[in-house]
Amino acid sequence: MPKVIENLKEKILAEADMQLKEVGYGAMTIQSIAKACGVGVGTVYNYYSSKDEILIACVAAACMERLDRICAVARYSRTYEAVIHCIYDEIRAFCEEREYIFKDATAANSVDGAVFRYMWFLSSRLAEPLRKFCKSDAEAQIIAEALLAWIRTGKSYEEVYSSIMKLF
């Protein structure tokens, strides 16, 4: 009878994230993740088809937590600036929290490729809380995309907010 491990998919991601932080993307392997989780390599492949897919899943899970927090705060925010500030703080914290991935050149290349592919999804999710303050969906989308770009380049909140206010 096969053994059943509760929340194995989450356990695999947690182990992968720990290995990313401790040994880096290059040293992390499907085998090392499987061994640490007490399962066979094939079991990990049942959930993820590659090391890149595991990396992207780690980043996506952390990103979704931040996006959910942004939407929750935005529901109760009455001002445009409060929502912009929340988005800035959450995305900045995400980048700092996952700095070990973004500073690892091999991992960063995989993540950047995935971020490029999923940019529309990310910016759409960030645009949701902005819509109630914008004249159109397009305006909210543009602001969300600009926020992502400016935060990734290290701009301060004051620079970001000032730039947005000049645009709109």
The predicted structure's pLDDT at residue 62: 86
Residue 158 burial by CB count (10 A; 0-12/13-18/19+): exposed, middle or buried?
exposed
**Cα–Cα distance for residue pair 67/123, rounded to 1 Å:** 10
Q: Each residue of 58-103: pLDDT tens digit?
A: 888 888 888 889 988 888 888 889 999 999 999 889 888 888 887 8
Tokens of 143: 């602001």
Say how many Å lie between the first and final Cα of the chain, rounded. Answer: 63
The predicted structure's pLDDT at residue 10: 94
Question: What is the residue-averaged pLDDT of the chain?
Answer: 87
Tokens of 88: 């800035």
Q: Each residue of 48-59: pLDDT tens digit?
A: 999 989 988 888
Q: How confident is the model at residue 109 (pLDDT cuts 50, 70, 90)?
A: confident
> Can you give the pTM of this predicted structure?
0.78
The predicted structure's pLDDT at residue 118: 67
Task: Answer whether residue 149 shows pLDDT above 90.
Answer: no
Tokens of 49: 């088809």
Tokens of 33: 């993740």
For a pLDDT cut of 90, what percent of the chain falls above it? 38
**Residue predicted with more confidence, 31 or 55:** 31
Q: Each residue of 132-147: pLDDT tens digit?
A: 888 999 999 999 988 8
Residue 143 burial by CB count (10 A; 0-12/13-18/19+): exposed, middle or buried?
buried
Q: Each residue of 117-129: pLDDT tens digit?
A: 666 778 888 899 9
**Cα–Cα distance for residue pair 137/5, rounded to 1 Å:** 44
